[in-house]
Chains A and B, each alone.
Chain A
Amino acid sequence: MTSAITLNDYLIVSGLLFALGIAGVIIRRNALVIYMALEMNLNAANLALIAFSKFNKLVEGQILVFFVIAIAAAEVAVGLAIIVALYRRKQTISVDQLTTMRL
């Protein structure tokens, strides 16, 4: 019984992370926390990519991860700005309150 870490182990952790992220998005009401959960989703994908890269001996996955990190940073800038703008107007960032537009 060897205890070497296999590709599947990485994938399971990545799957867990992804599920956790989705759970956070669904359950939490605070826009910031939701946004953090979303970042977790991206990192789940990153983990999977690196794992695949390592085990398949390919470099593209790692390159993609770099791009993803850069993009995530850009998204943070935009996303936080949007959330702040909302807070200024509404004094709340609970997504339950986003009900101006109705049927």
Chain B
Amino acid sequence: MNHLIYLYGTDWGMGQFPICSVWMILFTPLVAAALITLLTGRQKGLSAALSIGAILISFALSLRLFLLFALKGIQHHPHPIQWLVVGNTVRINFGMTTDALALLMLLVVTGVGSAIHIYSLGYMKGDPGFSRFFACMSLFTFSMLGIVISSNFIQIFIFWELVGVSSYLLIGYWFERPSAADAGNKAFLTTRIGDVGMMLGILLLWSHAHTFEFTELKAKLPTLGLPVGTLALIGALIFAGAVGKSAQVPLHVWLPDAMEGPTPVSALIHAATMVAAGVYMLCRISWLILPSQTALWLIAWIGAITALMAATIAIAQNDIKRILAYSTLSQLGYMVMAVGLGGPTQAMFHLTTHAFFKALLFLGAGSVIIALHHEQDIWKMGGLWKKTPITFWTFLIGTLALAGVPPLSGFYSKDEILLLAIERNPMLFVMAVATAFLTAYYMGREVFVVFFGKPRDYHAYDHAQESPWVMTLPLIFLAALSIVAGWYSKVPDFLGPPHEAQRHSSLLTGGLILVPLFGFLVAAKIYWKAEPSDAPVKVALGNLWTLVENKYYFDELYHWIIQYVQGTIAIVCDVFDRWILQRLGIGGLSVGTGLLGRTVRLLQTGSISGYAFLIGLGVTVIIYYAVVR
């Protein structure tokens, strides 16, 4: 009995709380995934109930931990479990981090995740792989929570890859669509490129510090006396992992394609949680990055470039989900830039609010897509605001929050980052403001084209109807959060010492309010009409439009490189095989002797001189080596 009491805790009150709460948060989704796979695969309802129940339990427990900490300041340090020890140098724990950062992230993941799980109930209805879908979702939730609570580099890396695997499964979920499977492969491979750097960085750090634990490393780092260059290298290498997972330039190409997966997956993985994992990891190891100016500089610039570039691409996209995908890229760039500017707290704040309103936007888009029977082209929509009022209003809230209109949450978090930028690096500030303007502009374009104007496809329009409550309820929930999430101004403080920005610079803040409004105005001028079109912008931008419409030709470039490399490899292998194996038959010993033999064979038809040549050479070598020296 005792262990049961230990497992479930004796005291559910506010006093001591069982360490296993954290364990339960983590493992409940895994148990659900296992149960669905093994037992309830055929009973769809039960599978969904298990999966949703699991994440709701995780959510409730996370909320409780969060409140305990936020209101009463109770923090627990669960003892890590020793996972393995090899010799004196390799010690890897399976630990639990429950500091403010982790608690906040737990709350975001489980909270947004719960809403999306429930929403999926409606969205995936009637799908043949219903149970499989929920099993994968639970597996993903487990992996993501694993990243959040990780207490060392190996643990985080393992869950990091697990997230990659489960998202690979989820993106490729629609087997029937080869493009979805390709996107899954692309996502897996691209993020893996970043992980190469990350693994290398981890190993490098370990070879000097001999530990993987975050807390120990944090304490040890100043005493190690690492050269500046090494420190910057380690920081940059680990950042590479975040570049892959958070889809920063130049590894951003996978994210928009990943939108091939079902919409709830896009919302959960490619908006709210997994892509934020990179930012979360950077915040988790900010003690490693902050001492290195070079690493910070690199991070800030990559973030800013991503933010601006993705925003420009978004203005020319026609797929309702792709616009949101590029917007996600852009906002992730914001967060990464914030980390690079030395403000992990601000980055986390924006991550939190962004998770709410971006999930909301994706789910709203999904609702529109369902209403129009899987139509994703915005130019085939129009006038939907009357048909799907709840979707419209919640989508609008999400849009305003994303654009940063006060008093919605996005305004506060974005404001913090902009204030940080103007203080630390004016150049980046300009880029960030440009991004903010573009954000309002393309979101305005999407709203006006999708919900206003005349319907362009009357058949679809006539059949359009509001989604069922399982889908609208999560929308309303997330909309409410998108509004209020920024009001609790203690959130940033709670993560650590507040940064010393001039909060009094109300003039600047006032100016920043105008940026999104201006963006909306421009968008309204162009697109708020009965039959909107891109034509005026196309004319005005000229070649620039073609450039952004084709996403700066990144895909083509990479495609070309891959083709080229693969072609070259094929030729090399072919030559290798043919020359060495075929010409020399099985006798080809090695490249050196093989080519030699070939030369000999070409020299003569009778074999005598060939023998003589080779023997002479061989004997010389052996005699020289064995005897003369």
Judged by CB atoms under 8 Å, the answer to whether A and B touch is yes
Interface segment among B95-103, B227-235, B239-247, B579-587: the answer is B579-587
Select the residue from B574, B585, B587, B626 with max chain A CB neighbours within 10 A: B585
User: CB of B64 within 8 A of chain A?
Assistant: no
Residues of B within 8 A of A28 (CB): 587, 607
Residues of B within 8 A of A12 (CB): 619, 622-623, 627
Contact A26 B614 (CB under 8 A): yes
With A25-B589, A95-B585 as contacts: A15 and B577 at CB distance below 8 Å: no
B559-611 interface with A by 8 A CB criterion: 570, 573-574, 577, 582, 584-589, 593-594, 596-597, 600-601, 607, 610-611
Residues of B within 8 A of A2 (CB): none
Contact A18 B597 (CB under 8 A): no
User: CB of A29 within 8 A of chain B?
Assistant: yes
Give the CA-CA distance A98 to B593 in the complex, in Å. Answer: 20
Name the one of B570, B577, B584 contacting A26, with C-beta atoms under 8 angstroms. B584
With A22-B618, A27-B601, A103-B577 as contacts: A15 and B623 at CB distance below 8 Å: yes
B627 (CB) vs chain A CBs: closest residue: A8
Nearest chain A CB to B250 CB, angstrom units: 32
B584 (CB) vs chain A CBs: closest residue: A26
Contact A34 B587 (CB under 8 A): yes
Give the number of chain A interface residues (Cβ < 8 Å): 22
Give the CA-CA distance A61 to B274 in the complex, in Å. Answer: 65
B588 (CB) vs chain A CBs: closest residue: A26
Contact B614 A27 (CB under 8 A): yes
Contact A16 B589 (CB under 8 A): no
Nearest chain A CB to B577 CB, angstrom units: 5
Residues of A within 8 A of B601 (CB): 27
Nearest chain A CB to B65 CB, angstrom units: 58
A42-83 interface with B by 8 A CB criterion: none
Give the CA-CA distance A102 to B593 in the complex, in Å. Answer: 22
User: CB of B427 within 8 A of chain A?
Assistant: no
Give the CA-CA distance A78 to B41 in the complex, in Å. Answer: 53
Residues of B within 8 A of A96 (CB): 582, 585
User: CB of B20 within 8 A of chain A?
Assistant: no
Residues of B within 8 A of A103 (CB): 570, 573-574, 577
A1-38 interface with B by 8 A CB criterion: 8, 11-12, 15-16, 18-20, 22-23, 25-29, 34
Residues of B within 8 A of A26 (CB): 584, 587-589, 593-594, 596-597, 600, 614
Residues of B within 8 A of A20 (CB): 611, 615, 618
Nearest chain B CB to A88 CB, angstrom units: 19
Give the CA-CA distance A34 to B574 in the complex, in Å. Answer: 25
A97 (CB) vs chain B CBs: closest residue: B585
Give the CA-CA distance A25 to B607 in the complex, in Å. Answer: 13
Nearest chain A CB to B317 CB, angstrom units: 41
Nearest chain B CB to A97 CB, angstrom units: 9
Name the one of B574, B593, B623, B626 contacting A22, with C-beta atoms under 8 angstroms. B593
Contact A23 B614 (CB under 8 A): yes
User: CB of A91 within 8 A of chain B?
Assistant: no
Give the CA-CA distance A22 to B616 in the complex, in Å. Answer: 12
Residues of B within 8 A of A22 (CB): 589, 593, 614, 618
Residues of A within 8 A of B610 (CB): 23, 27
Nearest chain A CB to B582 CB, angstrom units: 6
A8 (CB) vs chain B CBs: closest residue: B627
Contact B627 A95 (CB under 8 A): no
Residues of A within 8 A of B586 (CB): 34, 95, 98
Nearest chain B CB to A55 CB, angstrom units: 14
Contact A23 B584 (CB under 8 A): no
Contact B582 A99 (CB under 8 A): yes
With A25-B587, A26-B587 as contacts: A19 and B615 at CB distance below 8 Å: yes
Give the CA-CA distance A45 to B589 in the complex, in Å. Answer: 18
Nearest chain A CB to B596 CB, angstrom units: 8
B626 (CB) vs chain A CBs: closest residue: A11
Contact A27 B600 (CB under 8 A): yes
Residues of A within 8 A of B622 (CB): 12, 15-16, 18-19
Nearest chain B CB to A3 CB, angstrom units: 17
Residues of A within 8 A of B607 (CB): 27-28
Residues of A within 8 A of B597 (CB): 26-27
Residues of B within 8 A of A102 (CB): 577
A85-103 interface with B by 8 A CB criterion: 95-96, 98-99, 102-103
Residues of A within 8 A of B614 (CB): 19, 22-23, 26-27
Select the residue from B589, B607, B610, B614 with max chain A CB neighbours within 10 A: B614
Give the CA-CA distance A58 to B619 in the complex, in Å. Answer: 27
Nearest chain B CB to A80 CB, angstrom units: 16
Give the CA-CA distance A19 to B615 in the complex, in Å. Answer: 6
Nearest chain A CB to B486 CB, angstrom units: 60
Residues of A within 8 A of B588 (CB): 26
Give the CA-CA distance A41 to B320 in the complex, in Å. Answer: 72
Residues of B within 8 A of A23 (CB): 610-611, 614-615, 618
Nearest chain A CB to B578 CB, angstrom units: 8
Residues of A within 8 A of B577 (CB): 102-103
Give the CA-CA distance A27 to B619 in the complex, in Å. Answer: 17
Contact A16 B593 (CB under 8 A): no
Residues of A within 8 A of B582 (CB): 96, 99
Contact A27 B587 (CB under 8 A): yes
Give the CA-CA distance A99 to B583 in the complex, in Å. Answer: 10
Contact B619 A16 (CB under 8 A): yes
Give the CA-CA distance A29 to B607 in the complex, in Å. Answer: 12
With A8-B627, A26-B593, A27-B597 as contacts: A19 and B619 at CB distance below 8 Å: yes
Contact B587 A95 (CB under 8 A): yes
Residues of B within 8 A of A15 (CB): 618-619, 622-623, 626
Give the CA-CA distance A19 to B570 in the complex, in Å. Answer: 34
Contact A29 B585 (CB under 8 A): yes
Nearest chain A CB to B388 CB, angstrom units: 56
Contact A11 B587 (CB under 8 A): no
Contact B589 A11 (CB under 8 A): no
Selected A-B contacts with CB under 8 Å, 21 pairs: A15-B622, A15-B626, A16-B622, A18-B618, A18-B622, A19-B614, A19-B615, A19-B622, A22-B614, A23-B615, A26-B587, A26-B589, A26-B594, A27-B587, A27-B597, A27-B601, A27-B614, A95-B585, A95-B586, A98-B585, A102-B577
Give chain A's interface residues, CB within 8 Å of chain B.
8, 11-12, 15-16, 18-20, 22-23, 25-29, 34, 95-96, 98-99, 102-103
Interface pairs A-B: 7 shortest CB-CB: A19-B618, A95-B585, A15-B622, A26-B597, A23-B614, A26-B587, A25-B587
Q: Supply 5 further A-B pairs (C-beta < 8 A) apart from A12-B622, A26-B589, A103-B574.
A: A11-B626, A15-B619, A23-B615, A27-B597, A27-B611
